[in-house]
Amino acid sequence: MGENLIQTPYSNTGSSCTDSPRLTSCVDWFSVTFKDVVDWHEICAILQLDFSDFIEMENGLNGYKSGVKFGDILILFDGTDSMGIHLQMSGQGCRQYESHFTDYNWSDLFAMIMNYDYNVSRLDLAIDDFIGLLNLTTLSNKARKGHVVSTLSHLVDIEKIRLSDGVSKGRTLYFGSGKLKIRFYDKKQEREAKGYDLVDDVDVWQRYELQLRSEKATAAMKVLAYDNYELGEFIRGIYKATINFKVPNVGDSNKRRWTNCKWWDDFLGQVDAIQFTQQAPEPTILKSKLWVDRQVTGTLAMLNNAFNNELITRYFVKKGQDKLTEEQNQLAGMFKNDDQAKLTVYRQIMDDLGENEFLKLLQE
């Protein structure tokens, strides 16, 4: 998703920039349960983190009796047989995790998770606005006047007022509920209220969060794993399909034909609307090969050198055959019968290795 680290607006955290210095985007919460993993060390391998960095938690959480943590990255286990092993990363945990990214990123993690029997319980995606493109009072007023077209049913507007002088200490707008919520709030006010030291030149910091649960979180993860969306583009695409603030036209009773407010279109930019009903792209043999290239080949070469024979390779293939899903078998079968797809992969391998090495491999 083309992410790179930028200076954080407050101390001891980071943020993933996918847009521009004025709008940055990040994964702000991620929790997933693995139903077919029995050892928490395997979750560390999925995360590409060293299990020795994790420490044992004093108490379990959410019904799990035991857990380990690395900062705000939690792995919970020892629940009932049906509970599996649970991975939870808060916003702070996501920032900590990103600090360990080299060739790995969120897309790689999401693609890796899809090889397991999993259930995504929560995925929060956020846009941070450092210039104030949106005004929270204006958003609320448009909703109160009915100048909104949305698949969401209602707005909850919460403001904290200091009674001594009537000064607002923070306002949060919640659009929707349940499995899809959009939250707009003043992040700078929130951080200051909690005693964080802010970078001096941050005058404005507003956050616009997309909070997803259950199947909507899973659908979003699939798209981000196998499509080429920038994270900020994806979030705004969901917004565009979900809620739009309108300029009223008294001559037209159909609000859907009203034009969008300019400030809303400026915020959305030139994104396409993204529907949760659209089919998420499926993994392909080529994408699987590219993922193995990035994440697995070095480890396999090390193990091959350690054993000095092909036993370890044959072992992994044998163990993997036992884990293949019906969908993966079908994908392999389709690829076998697609000469053009095979030619594309072979050409890529030849480009990587050079023609002579490629021909030598074919002859072995």
> Concatenated DSSP letters for 184-232?
EEEHHHHHHHTTPPBPTT----EEEEEEEEHHHHHHHHHHHHHS---HH
Please state, as a whole number, how many other Cβ atoms lie within 10 Å of the Cβ of residue 321: 9
Least confident stretch, 157-161, 235-239, 282-286, 343-347: 282-286
**Identity at 73, one-letter amino acid code:** I
**pLDDT value at position 73?**
95
- Position 45 pLDDT exceeds 90: no
How far, in Å, CA of 259 to CA of 314, rounded? 61
H or E element, residue 70: strand 66-70
Ordered by start, the domain boundaries in the chain are 4-268, 285-363
- Position 89 pLDDT exceeds 50: yes
In tens, the pLDDT along 128-178 reads 998 889 999 999 999 999 999 999 999 999 888 888 888 777 789 999 988
Distance of CA 211 to the CA centre of its chain: 11
The confidence band for 315, taking pLDDT boundaries of 50, 70 and 90, is: confident
- Position 322 pLDDT exceeds 70: yes
- pTM over 0.85, yes/no: no
- Identify the residue with better confidence: 329 or 218: 218
